[in-house]
């Protein structure tokens, strides 16, 4: 207990040194304007806590060797397998997914639904052992098993390939929730291979077509969440070593950003894709395989968008991608009554 209070005193003392005197006097006009050191205070405090051995922060738990575990947005529930869908929810999802896929097929549109597994799902051994798993089956386990047994439409489950790949090299970032470019490449390859079943002119580029570059160390998203500048990481970048044929244009529409792509090869199919942040580094790889594409962020601008862009564009291919922790939102996304 004494040691705990000693840590707290040190943190408070250093924090007091950083707070302007006018702010301490509770000057109502000075608190917001003068507290310019807030970010510095958060950074110093977080770095100090890490140095002193603290491991539990809001939204983040620190594992071994600086491995950061995200605990917000249901990501910890995914790891613990503490939540589940009811049989009725699974049945309704299967009905909705099959109906959507069938309706698109009648219009000559191929639908692929991709679920990106959470970092904790692929690297459970790096989650501190004090965080116990409660259940035996995750929501994604449930969905995959139910669709396999009852559905005509299957999701593209990336987990087997990612679990195999991690035995050879890192595929997720230690201080970020996302995968690195190698993980993104695997997702791109598997998706193009699935699409190639209907479009034989589509095949993924080999990894040898990309040059590996290690970028300068920086603070990534989970390190920024806790304000720790002492935790930096070098990102892997896969830079294409071939001539790019696709051009891109971003427009703002009602507070949302839309990305349009164009490849002059008219033999390629057209694409509409709904995606989240896991596909930021996948989309540039995908764009090379489509004549025209529109890339729509699921959650951009507040709330979930809808499938109206499919009716607007009448593409050949529709891809819907959701991260595992947003699986509940996928259920809502394809609900025809929404």
Please indicate, yes or no, whether residues 47 and 85 belong to a single structural domain of this protein.
Answer: no
Same domain, 95 and 153: yes
Q: Are residues 32 and 80 in the same domain?
A: no
Work out the angle at residue 251's Cα, subtended by the Cα atoms of residues 245 and 253, and round it to the nearest 5 degrees: 145
Q: Which domain holds residue 186?
A: 70-203+244-333
Q: Residues 22, 105: one domain?
A: no
Q: Are residues 24 and 81 in the same domain?
A: no
- How does pLDDT run across 132-159, given as a tens digit for each residue? 999 999 999 999 999 999 999 999 999 9
pLDDT per residue as tens digits for the range 94-121? 999 999 999 999 999 999 999 999 999 9
Give the global pTM.
Answer: 0.87
Residue-level pLDDT at 279: 97
In this structure, is residue 233 part of a structural domain? Answer: no
Mind listing the pLDDT tens digit for each residue in 201-252? 999 999 999 999 999 999 999 999 988 888 899 999 999 999 999 999 999 8
**Do 188 and 255 have their domain in common?**
yes
Q: Please report whether residue 209 resides in a domain.
A: no
In a domain, 281, yes or no: yes
Same structural domain for residues 260 and 146? yes
Are 12 and 131 found together in one domain?
no
Q: Are residues 152 and 281 in the same domain?
A: yes
Task: Quick: pLDDT tens for 273-310.
Answer: 999 999 999 999 999 999 999 999 998 766 788 999 99
| 211 lies in some domain | no
CA proximity to 261, closest of 237, 285, 238, 297: 285
Same domain, 96 and 48: no
The CA dihedral of 46, 48, 51, 55, to the nearest 10 degrees, is -40
For residue 220, being part of any structural domain is answered with no
Q: Is 338 domain-assigned?
A: no
Instruction: Note whether residue 123 is domain-resident.
Output: yes
Q: With beta carbons less than 8 A apart as the criterion, state whether 104 and 111 touch.
A: yes
Do residues 121 and 76 touch, judged by C-beta distance below 8 A?
no
Q: Look at residue 104 in the predicted model and tell me its pLDDT.
A: 98
For residue 9, tell me if it sits in a domain.
yes
For the chain, the domain total comes to 2
């Amino acid at each position: 207990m004494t040691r705990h209070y000693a840590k707290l005193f040190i943190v408070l003392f250093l924090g007091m040194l950083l707070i302007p005197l006018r702010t301490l006097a509770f000057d109502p006009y000075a608190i917001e304007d003068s507290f310019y050191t807030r970010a510095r205070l958060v950074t110093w405090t977080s770095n100090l806590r890490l140095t002193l051995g603290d491991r539990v922060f809001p939204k983040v738990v620190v594992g071994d060797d600086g491995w950061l575990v995200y605990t917000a947005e249901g990501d910890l529930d995914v790891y613990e397998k503490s939540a589940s869908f009811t049989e009725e929810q699974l049945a309704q999802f299967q009905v909705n997914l099959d109906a959507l896929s069938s309706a698109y097929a009648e219009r000559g549109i191929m639908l692929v639904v991709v679920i990106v597994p959470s970092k904790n799902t692929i690297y459970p051994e790096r989650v501190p052992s004090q965080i116990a798993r409660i259940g035996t089956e995750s929501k994604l386990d449930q969905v995959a098993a139910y669709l396999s047994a009852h559905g005509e439409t299957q999701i593209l489950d990336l987990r087997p390939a990612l679990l195999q790949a991690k035995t050879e090299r890192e595929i997720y970032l230690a201080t970020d929730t996302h995968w690195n470019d190698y993980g993104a490449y695997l997702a791109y390859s598997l998706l193009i291979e699935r699409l190639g079943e209907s479009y034989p002119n589509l095949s993924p580029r080999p990894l040898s077509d990309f040059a590996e570059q290690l970028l300068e160390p920086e603070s990534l998203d989970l390190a920024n969440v806790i304000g720790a500048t002492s935790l930096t990481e070098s990102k892997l970048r896969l830079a294409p070593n071939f001539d790019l044929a696709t051009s891109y244009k971003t427009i703002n529409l009602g507070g949302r950003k839309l990305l349009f792509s164009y490849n002059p090869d008219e033999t390629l199919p057209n694409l509409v894709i709904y995606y989240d942040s896991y596909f930021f580094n996948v989309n540039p790889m995908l764009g090379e395989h489509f004549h025209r594409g529109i890339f729509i962020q699921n959650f951009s601008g507040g709330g979930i968008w809808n499938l109206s862009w499919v009716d607007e564009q009448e593409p050949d291919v529709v891809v819907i991608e959701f991260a595992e922790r947003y699986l509940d939102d996928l259920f809502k996304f394809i609900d025809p009554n929404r």
